[in-house]
């Protein structure tokens, strides 16, 4: 969140308090450092990923034996080939803040432009 968004949140939470004051960008940055927040690149997870059927498929993939999942396959025997679609421009915010060791991730719609396909 930006400093302006943090100030707006604090104002709403402390509405009517005689002791409330707005904070400068540097004060907010120092407070974030003090509680252990770091700046990180973020990612967006599509809404469809959280549908019950897709959560079940994910669980089955990791926890059931072959041919329904990979629970009984050694890591050395796995071949990891991944295909992804990349868009030249998106409307998602790319930077966020989180505690050390945690990811920055938001759920939301993808804003699409020119699509490229990547196989790794």
pLDDT digits (tens, 9 = 90+) for 51-68: 999 999 999 999 999 999
Using a cut of 0.75, tell me whether the model's pTM lies above it.
Answer: no
Angstrom distance (rounded) from CA 118 to CA 106: 22
The percentage of the chain sitting over the pLDDT mark of 70, rounded to a whole number, equals: 85
End-to-end distance of the chain based on CA atoms, in angstroms? 32
If one counts every other C-beta atom within 10 angstroms of the C-beta of residue 22, the result is: 13
Q: Is 107 helix (H, G, I), strand (E, B) or coil?
A: strand
């Amino acid at each position: 969140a930006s400093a302006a968004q943090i100030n707006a949140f604090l104002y709403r939470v402390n509405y009517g308090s005689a002791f409330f004051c707005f904070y400068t960008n540097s004060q907010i940055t120092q407070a974030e450092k003090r509680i252990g927040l770091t700046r990180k690149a973020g990612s967006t997870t599509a809404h469809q990923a959280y549908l019950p059927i897709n959560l079940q498929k994910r669980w089955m993939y990791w926890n059931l034996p072959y041919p329904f999942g990979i629970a009984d396959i050694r890591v050395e025997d796995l071949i990891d080939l991944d295909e992804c679609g990349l868009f030249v421009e998106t409307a998602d915010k790319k930077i966020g803040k989180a505690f050390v060791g945690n990811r920055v991730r938001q759920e939301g719609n993808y804003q699409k432009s020119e699509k490229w396909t990547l196989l790794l």
